[in-house]
Each structure stands twice: as C-alpha cells, then as structure tokens.
Amino acid sequence: MATTIGIDLGGTKTLAVRMENNDLVDEAKLSTPPSEDLVGNAAAAIRAVWTDDIEAVGVGVAGLVEWPSGAFVWGPHVAGTGLQVRSRLADLFGVPVVVDNDANAGAWGELHLGAGRGYDDMLLVTLGTGIGGAIVLDGRVHRGGSFAGEWGHMLYQPGGAQCDCGKRGCWETVASGPALVRLARDFIAQNPEGTLAKALGGEPPTGEAITGAADGGDETARNLVAQVGEAFGRGLCNLIAVLDPQVIIVGGGLGSVGESLLGPARRVAADALHGGSHRMLPPILVAALGPRASAVGAALLAEDLATGRLSLRVEQRA
C-alpha cells in the first residue's frame, strides 16, 4: 500500500485527492483556468494535497489520452492538444506519474471501491454533458489502441442534431443534459402556459431544474426525463449486444438522477435486447463514488504504478 495522489482534471474544475491504504485522507477542489496550461493546472492540483511521502501520482483527463505515454491528444471541453502531460509532471515532481482518460480512471475507482466491487466485466457509462465511459474486461481496463469507450459518439440518428464533436446524430445528442434541456425548451416554446413552464418559474430550463420538476411530480418533466432515459437505454442495449458485461455502472451528473431516468432505460434495453426473453439484462446500477470516482481511481492507478502492478512500458507490436 502506498501514499498516492489522484487528480480529476476537467474543463472547468479539478479535484485532487490524497489516498493512504485505499483511504481518502485529503482533498482539494480547484477551478480550472480556461487556458491551454493543462500541465500547470494539474501541477497546482497536485501541490494542493502534496506531502513528502507521495510515491506516485495519477491523473484522469476529460478527453483523448494516449496510453501508456500519457499524452493528452484532444478533448472537446479541455484546451490544448498534443501535450506530454505524464512526462512533464514526472519531471516536475520526481515521482512516477500515470495519466489516463477520466472515465478509465473512474471505472478503476468504481471497480475497486465503488459499485463495481465483485465484478470482473464491467462498463462504466457516464451521463452528463455528454456520454463517456470505460470498459473493464477480466478485471483490466480495456483501452483498445488508446481511446476505447467513447460510445457517446456512436451514430444514433443519421443527420440528427449537431454534436459537440463536430459530427451529427451521435448518441449523446439524444441522451445527455443538453438533450434534456433542448426537449424542455422545445416543449415550453409550444406550451408557454403549461405546467412545466410554471414549474420552472419562467426561467430558461436547466438539466437540474427539469429533473427537480420531475422529482416534484410534474408530469411533463417526468415524460421528458423518461424520453432521455429511453434513448439512453437503446444505446446501452447496443453496448450489451457487443460486450455482454456482468454489470453496467452509470455515473455522471444526469446518471445520478436515478430511477426516473434509469427505470425507462432498463425497460427499453430489456425490450430491445436480442433473445431478451431467454436471458437476463445485466444490472444497471448508479455509480457509488459520485464526483470523486475519477480522482480516486487515478490515485489507485498511481498505487498500482508504485507497487509494480502497473507498467507503463510501451510494448512493441510485432
């Protein structure tokens, strides 16, 4: 067991944790300056929880991260491209550093300390501003070439709504916080005197306000949340068809809404599953570590690095 730091480096906020023997002993939240200084932002977060006995540092970044080099390639919500985050942080702090995609780090956290405990084959699907995720196969994160699990950009609807990634009709254009807001905005434009407009107090809809109205019993809000849940469930069914996981853990801000969204998602996924009357839908569970999953998982990856369970040697392919 080692003392390590885990960082969740997002587009607007960064969370740093220090862990000893799998226990979280310190944490710090920082707002991330919207600059291209990704390394500087990570370094500030590391310093916020640093102690002299740190053996390794793990960083999860929202975007495409090359594995195992730890270079940040690109992300729609984080500035900068082609940054050698891992080697520069290792030079700065003089300890081993591992840098991974934030969802991969989150999956590692959920697998060991969260809702994925006891499973070997697990998908983490994060539902928030978009859809991200990670694949755990036989107890290991499956990264493919580097970027596996970016299923928010599976084609859902040819010619559909514009996605943040620049393409059209991706899964996350119909299942995400912004998708829910768009549904509510369209409904209110058609029904300016309806109960939903009143429930939101005449304010422009936000994801939180809509799910709040749904929890408060507004029928329209419940239907819109269910509609997003159904679109989410159809995509989950495709993931099950490909990977047949033992469990699906749903994280992210909208994922934490719970049954009003996951109930419809499960129903649709069970209906759409091929051979559905002869097999069980895998459990679809809410993530247990909440907003700390990626930082905690990054600290656990750092521990794996410090104790030799993880090697970042670049393997030569024949």
Task: Give per-residue burial for 255-287: e unless 16+ CB within 10 Å, then b.
Answer: bbbeebbbebbbebbbebbeeeeeeebbebbbb
- Residue found under tokens 């929880």: 49
Given a contact cutoff of 8 angstroms between Cβ atoms, the answer to whether 15 and 292 are in contact is yes
Stretches 156-164, 190-198, 229-237, 294-302: which one binds Zn ion (CB under 5 A)? 156-164
153 binds Zn ion (CB under 5 A): yes
Stretches 97-105, 157-165, 221-229, 301-309: which one binds Zn ion (CB under 5 A)? 157-165
Stretches 14-22, 91-99, 158-166, 275-283: which one binds Zn ion (CB under 5 A)? 158-166
163 binds Zn ion (CB under 5 A): yes
> What's the rounded Cα separation, in Å, for the pair 170 and 230?
15
175 binds Zn ion (CB under 5 A): no
Give, in order, the Cα–Cα distances in Å from 239 to each of 18, 228, 285. Answer: 34, 17, 15
266 binds Zn ion (CB under 5 A): no
Given a contact cutoff of 8 angstroms between Cβ atoms, the answer to whether 210 and 222 are in contact is no
Stretches 19-27, 160-168, 198-206, 262-270: which one binds Zn ion (CB under 5 A)? 160-168
Compute the least distance from the CB of residue 11 to Zn ion, in Å: 16
161 binds Zn ion (CB under 5 A): no
Of 181-200, which residues contact Zn ion (CB under 5 A)? none
Output the CA torsion sign for 120, 301, 240, 251.
positive
Residue placing its CB nearer to Zn ion in the complex, 163 or 196? 163
Compute the least distance from the CB of residue 171 to Zn ion, in Å: 8
Compute the least distance from the CB of residue 84 to Zn ion, in Å: 26
170 binds Zn ion (CB under 5 A): yes
> What's the rounded Cα separation, in Å, for the pair 245 and 177?
25
Beta bridge partners, 249, equal 124, 285
Residue placing its CB nearer to Zn ion in the complex, 167 or 198? 167
* Contact residue for Zn ion among 44, 73, 165, 285 (CB under 5 A): 165
Task: Give per-residue burial for 64-84: e unless 16+ CB within 10 Å, then b.
Answer: bbbbbebbbbebeebbbeebb
- The rounded Cα 152 to chain-centroid distance in angstroms is 10
Stretches 21-29, 120-128, 150-158, 271-279: which one binds Zn ion (CB under 5 A)? 150-158
179 binds Zn ion (CB under 5 A): no
Compute the least distance from the CB of residue 165 to Zn ion, in Å: 3
DSSP string, 37-82: -HHHHHHHHHHHH--TT--EEEEEESSEEETTTTEEEE-TTS--SS
Residue placing its CB nearer to Zn ion in the complex, 93 or 171? 171
Would you tell me which residues interact with Zn ion (CB under 5 A)? 153, 163, 165, 167, 170
